[in-house]
Structure formats: structure tokens, C-alpha cells
Amino acid sequence: MTKLSVNINKIATLRNARGGNIPNVVEAAKKIESFGGQGITVHPRPDERHITYQDIRDLSNIVTTEFNIEGNPVAKFLNLVMEAGPAQVTLVPDAEDAITSNAGWDTIKHKKFLQEVIQEFKNNGIRTSIFVDPDEKMINGAAETGTDRIELYTEDFAVSYAKGDKTGIEPYKRGATLAHELGLGINAGHDLSLDNIKYFKDNIPHLDEVSIGHALIAEALYLGLETTIKRYLDQLK
């Protein structure tokens, strides 16, 4: 079964809009795990506009499934990850002013930098994943960095699928097949939702994990968090 990791950034965004500690991200993470979620994902930004560095320290003490921290491996981020000791770190090439992730790594241009960062994480027993577009050159480049996994950036698939064009899955199928042949694990995320997750999962071979935040939290406003998580788990079987 493909694992479901729930990104809780949007819960922190809601909390920060009012101040205080409602909703409580630690309690939300506990609820998600109790409802069957198989991982908790956070993606801190340098300005801490949603998940804060203190949130991550707090979560590192209570997450009992898989803790996945995403972000651009600047010095501050590296230090935080080493302190928190998650199961997985997902490297994302975010610009500081990016609203959300909008591109994968150029694993050829940044190969040496990624190799150095990944080795440091490996020395500390942390699994690594690199956020990449479904480009076979970039996937080949990722394999040369020493990463354990890639995370396929799925926005292009989601946009084409919403328009009724299912051919957008093809680059992802080829990319996942290549990644598996290269010995890489395969994660995926960005704009996956209850509308498209089953089609994506059924067509992508060797899919280890999906990380879903914005859509899942939005859907939970209508369906409830427990029901939403269970629907995702049913479709990922």
C-alpha cells in the first residue's frame, strides 16, 4: 500500500491567522495518526509564516509514525533537521518568497551541493528524498546524488487531469519506472486530491508515499478530518 503522509502546514496557517494556539498543530498531528495517517509532513519557510521551527521541535517529540520535514537546505534548515531527527527529509528548491513549491531540482546543476547535503543527512541516519519534475535527466541526476528517494512534483499531472486530459500521467509513469530501475524509492506530492489520487496511484508503479496537505485540509472542512483521511487510505490501497 502507498503510504499517506499528511502535510499540516495549512493547520498552522489557520492558527497563525488569529494568533494563539487554536488549532493546535501538535494535537492535530496526534489526531491524524489516530485516524490512520501514516506520516506527518511539515514544510517550514524562512519567514515561518505557517509551520514554525518551534512547531517542528514540538512535533519531533510526539510523532509516532513517519516524520517528514521538507524544505530548502539552507544552513538554518539543516540545523533544524539535525536537531529534530526526522525519519525523512525532502529537499525542495524553494525561493524565499515562494508561496508554494513550484519546481523540482536541477539535479545536474546542483549535483555537488546535493551530494554534500545528502551525505550529511545520511551520516545522521535520516532518509533523503529530492523533489523533482518527471524529467528523466533530472531523475538520472538524482540517482547520482546518493539520495534514497525522489518526490515527483505532480502539479502538471493535476492540472491536465482536471481538464479531462489523462495523458498527463505518462511522464510520471516513465519517471517512476526509471527511478525504480535506478534503485530509488518514489514519493509524490503537490495538488493531489480525492479527485485524482486513485488514478495517479493506480498508474504509477512502485509508489511508496504521497504527501498531501492543501487539498486534504480543504476537503476536511466539508467532510471532517477523520472521514477525509479514511477516504484517502481507501483509494491508496
**Active site members:** 43, 70, 190
The dihedral over CA atoms of 105, 192, 171, 180, expressed in degrees to the nearest 10, equals 70
CB-CB contact of 51 with 8 (8 Å): yes
CB atoms within 10 A of CB 28: 21
Distance CA 124, CA 114 (A): 16
d(CA 45, CA 13): 12
The amino acid occupying position 137 is: K
Please state, in angstroms and rounded to a whole number, the distance separating the CA atoms of residues 158 and 63: 29
DSSP secondary structure letter of residue 199: H
The residue type of 231 is: R
Report the half-sphere exposure of 158 (CA within 13 A, side-chain side). Answer: 15
Angle between helices 225-236 and 214-223 (to 10 degrees): 120
Burial 196-207 (b: 16+ CB within 10 A, else e): bbeebbeebeeb
What CA–CA distance (Å, rounded) separates 205 from 176? 6
